[in-house]
Amino acid sequence: MSSVRGQDAGRKKRIAEVVGAQIEPITRFRTSDLKELSSDLESGAELVVTTRQRVDLDIETAVCTGRLPHGISARPDVATIEAELQQRLATAESAATARIQQWATEEPGRYRRLLPTGTFFSDLPNETIGTEWACATCSQRGRLACAGCAGSGAQTCPDCQGRRHGACRQCRGLGRLACGVCEGRGQVQATAGAPGAPEALVPCTACRQGWLDCAACEGRGEQDCPRCTASGRIVCPDCQGQQELDCPDCAASGWHHQWGRLRERLEVEDLLEVHHPDPAVAAAITARHADVTTLDEVCTLEQVRYTTAPLAVQAVQRLRLPVRQVRLQVAGQPMQFTALGPSLEIIDYQQVAAVLLGHDLDTLEKNVDGSGRHLGEALQRFLQSPLNLDIAARKPLADIDRQYPGMVDEAYRTRALQSAQRAVERLWLQRVRRPRLYGLAGIGAVSALLVAFGSPHFGVASASVLATGLGIAAWVGADWQARRALALSLQRPGSDRLLRPLRQSAVVRRWQLVSLAAAVVVALAGAAAMTRLPHVRQQVEQRQADTALQQQLAVWLGSDDKDHRLRHYPTAEVLVQALARPPVDPRIRLVRAWQLLLGPDGVTPDPRGAERLLDGLEQDPALAHAVVLARARATLWLRSRSVSALQATATALEELPQPPSPEALYTLALVQLTPALAARTGGLSAGIATLQQAADTGHASACFELGRRLGAGAGLRRDLAAARRYLGYAESKGVPGAAKELAALR
């Protein structure tokens, strides 16, 4: 009975196991995924390696400068050296053939034996011999007389040509310079003379006839040569004054020598022939084992036959390489595998890996372009390959080529990267599509509820903006959750790097923009739909009316019309409704009070109601001026016979900030023209003057009142022309009754 361990040790290794061990680190496939379609077919390839060796024996000589080096045997002359070396070479060549034959018989069964170098002269004299001789050029001195200076060490100065002097650089060899006083003319203008007399010339006292002696050369026109210091000779630049130069032939040694010896070289050439019934297998073996030096490690040496020749030997070695072939089913495809040698070296297993990787890539591309129902599973299978994971994670190409040499080409890397990115984008879209739809529904609902229950505080625009903002915030959270869930579902280290391109993905950005546009449309649609509800419509209309009222109030307060009676007032109904809805804007109370005091547009005057509306408005600085004027008008209506009330009103009007407004002047004039106050103050002159001042500022009602008094002569002299002018202005401004008064004057 044999043990289990003994059975495992004796079991023959299967090709499927070897293929699986090679593809597992690269692809997602395992040995169990490979199905054998046939049993192993064993055969052998016959390899013939022809090793040719040639011994090259020749003489090596060299001629050098200097004395013969120590250790070289001296000979009398060159001829003796050549004769001795030729004799040695002939002896070595005659003995080489016998030695090669003897070597071939020593170990005839060893693979690719090489001739031992350096042994052909081991028992023959092969010492280096040489001879030396004196240099004929320098006569053994090692130095030669300098040709540049003829051995004198000096040369004629090239600047002065040996004359020791040269032309003066200051005067250029003339020995004199032009006078700077008279500019070389020899005469100058006289300094004294009668006014208007012609100019007189006198000899120049600074020179002689316009010239001065050159101070540099003292009038000689020459200077000492600075290069040779007036010696006419310079140091020879060739020998630097040494008078001699090193001999170039013997390198200043004075000697030459020549040495010689025999040289041995071995030339080796290998030829490989492979014989197998399958030409593809033979070609694969030839390609994989171009270097024949290690064939004996995987092959069995069967025969070695030597053939010798003079100075050459040829060894024909026959080897047998075990070959096993089997058909395996790989990714649903039958493939033929060939293993070489006892270690089962698989031929071109990169092709197998490429087929498996391409199968997963094709499956991934079909799911990306198809329905996408099984896209997650296809991507997980694709990323189970470490190589595909590195490509999808954008690992540097240099690192991929270094780790997986020759596995895939550039086209595969491009396809794999694009497909992985598209798969991640589509998976992301699948995970965020449902939250996006829920988000759109929520945005529409929130927008509608805000309008339905938050009106009039929330209109269509504000509700849409708020709902869209809440929806975007929810989408951001859903997006983060989708990315996190997608990274966890991939179950691969470094899977977060696969999701980084989503930030710059055009597909993701386009989807986000479309979602944002849809959110805005849904929010607006939901809010607009709620505006059709009766109570919402009523609230919207009320808000629109309030907005219009606020605009009218702002126009009334900011109007440049000097006459308050002619300003544009909101309708009495609108003001009454606004007063009934607390809190009441103080401006509404003020405008309604003026409306009740002046009665524009057919409104029935109610001075007491106006006075009640004015209570407490003096606290607002922006309305204080208009409130004082309104109280004065109420006093004219209610207390026109009370002198004290009229005097207090006049005092309050006079204390208003200067300059007074036209309405303040007109109101003060009306107070001063009341019979009770006029009787107390002694006449109408003060009131007429104030009325005249108000009319001159362009106050239409003041012009009407002044024109009426001028036409009737009430309180002042009658002036029909002035009356027509003032009444005409009042009529042009639309003062009620102005046209009738003007017609009465005509």
Question: How is 548-577 classified by DSSP, letter by letter?
Answer: HHHHHHHHHHT---S-GGGS----HHHHHH
- Determine the Cα angle at 178 with ends 175 and 184, to 5°: 140
Residues 6+ apart with CB under 8 A from 244: 143, 144, 145, 146, 151
Domain with CATH 1.25.40 in the chain: 562-745
Where are the alpha helices (H) located in 393-458, listed in sequence order? 397-403, 410-454
Measure Cα distances from 507 to 110, 266, 502, 556 in Å. 69, 70, 8, 56
Using DSSP's 3-state secondary structure scheme, residue 729 falls into helix
- Joined together, the tokens standing for residue 529 give 């739909």
Tell me the pairing of strands 312-330 and 41-65: antiparallel
Whole-prediction pTM: 0.47
- Joined together, the tokens standing for residue 486 give 């997608």
Residues 6+ apart with CB under 8 A from 627: 590, 614, 617, 618, 620
| pLDDT at 485 (0 to 100) | 79
| pLDDT at 131 (0 to 100) | 94
Cα–Cα distance between 38 and 325 in angstroms, integer? 9
Cα–Cα distance between 122 and 312 in angstroms, integer? 19
Cα–Cα distance between 687 and 669 in angstroms, integer? 5
What's the CATH class of domain 562-745?
A: mainly alpha
- Report how far apart the first and last C-alpha atoms of the chain are (Å, whole number): 153
pLDDT tens-digit map of 111-168: 888 888 766 555 666 788 999 999 988 888 888 888 888 888 888 888 788 888 878 8
Q: Rg of the chain's alpha carbons, rounded to an integer?
A: 63
- Joined together, the tokens standing for residue 412 give 């595969």
Evaluate whether 60 touches 259 at the Cβ level (below 8 Å). no
Evaluate whether 730 touches 566 at the Cβ level (below 8 Å). no
Evaluate whether 540 touches 463 at the Cβ level (below 8 Å). no
Cα–Cα distance between 529 and 463 in angstroms, integer? 12
- Determine the Cα angle at 714 with ends 709 and 715, to 5°: 110
Give every residue of the chain whose pLDDT is below 50, as ranges.
Answer: 1-11, 192-197
| pLDDT at 65 (0 to 100) | 92
| pLDDT at 199 (0 to 100) | 63
- Joined together, the tokens standing for residue 169 give 């650089």
Q: Do you know the residue count of the chain? A: 746
Cα–Cα distance between 356 and 28 in angstroms, integer? 8
Evaluate whether 52 touches 385 at the Cβ level (below 8 Å). no
- Joined together, the tokens standing for residue 264 give 């041995």
Evaluate whether 694 touches 662 at the Cβ level (below 8 Å). yes
Q: What is the DSSP string of 492-529?
A: -TTTHHHHGGGGG-HHHHHHHHHHHHHHHHHHHHHHHH
Measure Cα distances from 505 to 426, 429, 482 in Å. 11, 12, 16
Tokens 């296809």, residue? 378
Number of H helices, E strands in the chain: 25, 19
Cα–Cα distance between 672 and 691 in angstroms, integer? 9
Measure Cα distances from 688 to 273, 634, 672 in Å. 140, 21, 8
DSSP secondary-structure letter at 602?
Answer: G
Torsion of CA 30, 33, 39, 45, to 10 degrees: -40
Tokens 């998976």, residue? 427
| pLDDT at 197 (0 to 100) | 45
Cα–Cα distance between 64 and 71 in angstroms, integer? 15
Cα–Cα distance between 120 and 318 in angstroms, integer? 29
Cα–Cα distance between 365 and 592 in angstroms, integer? 78
- Joined together, the tokens standing for residue 524 give 């607006």
| pLDDT at 284 (0 to 100) | 86
- Can you say whether residue 332 is alpha, beta or left, with left for phi > 0 and alpha for psi between -120 and 50 degrees? left
**Of residues 352, 281, 292, the one with CA closest to residue 322:** 281
- Determine the Cα angle at 633 with ends 632 and 634, to 5°: 90
